């Protein structure tokens, strides 16, 4: 059990005071964003700690996830944890309407979603008074001091799961060692993405015996959903043409992708590039880049069809990436040619694809490492290297099949690690097959 006798530091008290003063202004900004996303008033009030659903009977395990990527990994974990704890109920909190919509579509059994309370006294206490979680699991770097301290003070065991902290964040906390130790001591367990984060947490003041290096939980997310009707329709439009995918591309990356595609078209004149920009609102900009490169573009959101003249099909709609991955076994994953951190390579690998990445995948370093080592993924630096990688796999089916099998093997290895995480959570947070509600 953590020793939670440490007294609140002056900095923590100052934080509580300042957030109380700023609370009404923060609430106004948050409410405006939720209104702009057409979130109903009753659900907006969840940010003020007013629950829109009743608390279920029995043991309730609460997960807090930052946004869409974390939410996907949490959904997979809840499914496995639900099998391990058949009587448990689950609560997910996440702050964005996009993540809320995703959860509604992929809600695990015995699970409900709420928006998290603002980190001020009233909302936090109302949230905890209503839900009374038996355990709280914060995902990645969602460290909300008052919510953490208040929850722990009620006897709720806490874990920081899939922990990842930026160098800037670590340096900031190291300048405030007493407050860092005070807050981190509220946690009973830290499961980190890698050894570096584990060591950083210990340096910041986390008790070393509660820190366990793990793996990137996002690598264990369920496969992305596939719309079979759309898949059949697009396959019919493509016919027997060769295809490759550039997915989750960011500004400054499409130029490299399109330059590679131009070279590939010289050898395969009927080659189709399926281009998936990370931010669909950039569709006009990306389409203009393709046109400037002399390539004909069809746009999904315009309901354009793929014809024999289409060289680039821009898939600029949300929630269909799994369908696109099912179309093609060669995927370049963006966010990696710039210093963005990359995206989850296991999503295309789960769909049976071999993966190509730039060098800037530092947010998924521990996920890419075994993929690259096994040959399931290739790292490139430039348009010419991207051309060569795609060309190799398009021209040699045996080499492509070997790469795809290696990628799939890495996925299977990571999936088995999910059971170990479930057991660790159950042991360290005292979770059992049945439980009663925690008391104040």
Q: What is the 3-state secondary structure (H, E, C) of 123-163?
A: HHHHHHHHHCCCEEEEECCCCCHHHHHHHHHCCCCEEEEEE
The alpha carbon of 330 is separated from its chain's Cα centroid by a whole number of angstroms, namely: 22
SS3 content of the chain, % helix, strand, coil (to 5): 50, 15, 35
Question: Dihedral angle at the C-alpha atoms of 315, 318, 319, 321, nearest 10 degrees?
Answer: 30
H/E run at residue 89: strand 89-93
Among candidate residues 46, 70, 254, 428, the one labeled active-site is: 70
Distance CA 114, CA 328 (A): 36
Tokens encoding 91 = 């609560």
The residue assigned the tokens 């939720």 is 34
Assess contact for 248 and 358: CB atoms under 8 A: no
Tokens encoding 212 = 């366990």
DSSP code for 47:
G
In sequence order, what DSSP letters do the residues of 372-389 get, joined into one string? Answer: HHHTSEEE--SHHHHHHH
Residues in contact with 410: Cβ distance below 8 Å, sequence separation at least 6, in sequence order: 346, 349, 370, 371, 374, 376
Q: Which residues pair with 137 in a beta bridge?
A: 63, 159
Tokens encoding 283 = 């569709």
List the one residue out of 187, 212, 184 whose CA is nearest residue 198: 212
The arrangement of strands across the sheet holding 330-333 comes to: 297-299, 312-314, 272-277, 243-249, 330-333, 354-357, 377-379
Angle between helices 397-428 and 383-395 (to 10 degrees): 110
Q: Clarify whether 70 is annotated catalytic.
A: yes
Burial class (CB in 10 A: 0-12, 13-18, 19+), 309: exposed
Beta carbons within 10 angstroms of residue 58's beta carbon: 14
Active site residue ranges: 70
């Amino acid at each position: 059990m953590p020793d939670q006798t440490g007294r609140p530091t002056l900095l923590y008290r100052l934080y509580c005071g300042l957030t109380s003063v700023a609370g009404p202004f923060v609430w106004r900004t948050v409410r405006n964003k939720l209104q702009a996303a057409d979130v109903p008033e009753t659900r907006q009030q969840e940010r003020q700690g007013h629950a829109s659903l009743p608390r279920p009977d029995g043991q309730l395990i609460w997960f807090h996830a930052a946004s869409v990527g974390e939410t996907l990994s949490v959904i997979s974990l809840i499914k496995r944890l639900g099998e391990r704890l058949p009587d448990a109920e689950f609560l997910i909190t996440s702050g964005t309407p996009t993540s809320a919509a995703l959860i509604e579509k992929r809600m695990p059994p015995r699970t409900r979603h709420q928006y998290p309370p603002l980190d001020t006294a009233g909302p936090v206490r109302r949230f905890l008074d209503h839900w009374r979680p038996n355990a709280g699991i914060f995902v990645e770097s969602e460290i909300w001091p008052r919510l953490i301290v208040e929850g722990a003070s009620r006897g709720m065991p806490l874990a920081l799961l899939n922990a990842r902290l930026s160098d800037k964040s670590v340096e900031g906390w190291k300048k405030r060692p007493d407050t860092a130790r005070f807050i981190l001591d509220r946690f009973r367990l830290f499961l980190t993405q890698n050894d570096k984060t584990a060591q950083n947490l210990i340096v910041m003041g986390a008790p070393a015996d509660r820190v366990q290096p793990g793996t990137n939980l996002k690598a264990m997310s369920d496969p992305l959903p596939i719309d079979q009707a759309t898949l059949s329709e697009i396959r019919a439009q493509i016919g027997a043409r060769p295809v490759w995918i550039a997915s989750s591309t960011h500004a400054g990356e499409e130029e490299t992708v399109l330059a590679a595609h131009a070279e590939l078209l010289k050898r395969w004149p009927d080659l189709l590039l399926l281009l998936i920009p990370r931010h669909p609102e950039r569709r006009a900009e990306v389409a203009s880049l393709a046109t400037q490169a002399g390539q004909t573009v069809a746009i999904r959101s315009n309901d354009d069809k793929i014809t024999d003249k289409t060289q680039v099909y821009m898939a600029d709609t949300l929630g269909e990436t799994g369908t696109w991955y099912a179309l093609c076994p060669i995927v370049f994953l963006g966010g990696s040619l710039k210093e963005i951190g990359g995206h989850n390579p296991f999503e295309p690998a789960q769909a049976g694809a071999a993966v190509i990445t730039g060098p800037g995948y530092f947010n998924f370093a521990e996920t890419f490492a075994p993929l690259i080592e096994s040959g399931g993924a290739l790292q490139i630096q430039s348009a010419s290297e991207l051309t060569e990688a795609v060309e190799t796999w398009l021209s040699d089916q045996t080499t492509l099949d070997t790469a795809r099998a290696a990628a799939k093997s890495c996925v299977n290895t990571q999936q088995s690690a999910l059971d170990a995480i479930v057991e660790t959570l159950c042991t360290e947070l005292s979770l059992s097959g049945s439980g009663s509600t925690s008391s104040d």
